[in-house]
Structures are given as C-alpha cells and as structure tokens.
Amino acid sequence: MGRIGERFAELEAEGRKAFVAYVMAGDPDFDRSLEVVRGLPAAGVDVIELGLPFTDPMADGPTIQLAGQRALAAGMTLKRTLALAREFRKGDRATPIVLMGYYNPIFSHGVDRFLRDAKAAGIDGLIVVDLPPEEDAELCLPALAQGIDFIRLATPTTDDARLPAVLRNTSGFVYYVSITGITGSAVAEAREVGPEVARIKAATDLPVVVGFGIRDPEAAKEIAGTADGCVVGSAIVARIADGEPAEDVLAYVAALAKGAHAA
C-alpha cells in the first residue's frame, strides 16, 4: 500500500473525510508556489493535487488556465514541477502527492523516464485527464507497474455502461466530477452528488472524492458528507491569483479543511 492508500486507511480509522487541495505548480513562481505547497499539510490537507502546467488545458476553466499560463511564463516545466515535489519531500515524507495534468508533457518527456523521475520525486499518483481507459497501455499500466496510482475521473455523464471501463485499472481513489463542464464553472449540489457517489461506491471498494464547484467551508462539509472526501482547486488558485500572501491562502485552506473534516 502506497501513501494514498495509507492516508485513506488512516482517515477511515479516524472516522474522518479527506480534504484534497489542488494548486498549480509554479504559480505565480517556483518559490511562492513551494511556500504554499509546504504549508498545505499543516493547514489540514490530506492529499495534495499538484497541477502540471500545460499550454492547452482543455478541461480547465479560466482560473486554472491562467494559473498555468503564469507558471509557464515563470519558467515552470515538467522537470521543475518534479523539482518542486522533491523540495517538498525534504520536509514531508507522509503527505500523498497526486500530479494532475495532461499527457503531452509526459509523452514528450518519455513515459519510462517520466515514471522513474516521478517516483524519485515522491509522486504517489497521477490524474491525466486526456487519457481514456482505452489508452491504458500508454501510461496507466506502466504507472501501476511502478507503484504509482492512476486515478480516474468519473462524471455525471458516466453511465452504468461506461463505469466499469472507468474503474478498471483505477487505483488510489476515484475522483467524481460533480458538474458537467470545465473547472470553476458551477456550484456543486449535494442532493445531486449523493446518489451518483452511491452508485460509484456500489461498483468499487476505492474511496470516492468529489471535486469541482466547492468554494467555502460549508460546501466542503456538505459535499464531503456525501462521499469519502472533497477536492477544492479553483477557489484556492483564485486567491493565489489575487496576490494574497501565502499565510492568507493557507488560512483559507485551513477553513475548507475544517469544513470537510467536520462532515
């Protein structure tokens, strides 16, 4: 069992829901990004999703797109993203890190080389939004062979016919996208999310966490209560974009985590 499995087992034993936070690596620059990432565990974050900047993030809304552009403009690359993870690991060997992004930078780096480098940097899981289950041989299966979890997205349009393919070879947890559309585009509704999460959990023993459309502690509590945890990304990234000091961003994250953990 890797760090992701261990963390969810710990949370289950404690009777707590998971709080997962997404930030874009290198936004607005390497040093300030690292400062925020280093502060996430103390703010109550159970799993860190680290965004990999990319020039064509088709599943992301304006907030995440602009974060990626700022990171790229500041010189962020896949190599520097892994360097940021290595720096974080110098002070934290326990918090799981999931690298979230698109396949092109990984393909350009070379899959075998990427997996070796990611493992050495302390990456525990991958979310690659533009690789469907039909392409598992590209990255999913090699990642699993290296002990790196491959986390799949399920959405409101993932029907019962499609769900088995989505769950096949998925590990770590299942990320349920609570809305149809791009990141940051709507507000999640627990009454709609709950039945969908129950449907997914009936088909897998993996934890299910819910993301997209969560912006305040009350929503974090409500949505986490329908699942095994929740994810907040755009709302955190927006505060970084506004130039808030790291301590203020982390205070906001701590409030969200408190909400999720109260579920």
Which sequence positions are flagged as catalytic?
49, 60
Whether the CB-CB separation of 24 and 67 falls below 8 Å is answered with yes
Whether the CB-CB separation of 200 and 209 falls below 8 Å is answered with no
- The Cα angle at residue 3 between residues 160 and 209, in degrees rounded to 5: 35
Question: What number of CA atoms fall less than 13 Å from residue 170's CA on the CB side?
Answer: 27
Of 130, 114, 126, residue with least CA distance to 4: 126
Identity of the residue numbered 85: A
Q: Which residues of 202-216 are buried (b: 16+ CB within 10 A; e: fewer)?
A: eebebbbbbbbbbbe
- The four Cα atoms 231, 234, 239, 242 give a dihedral, to 10 degrees, of 170
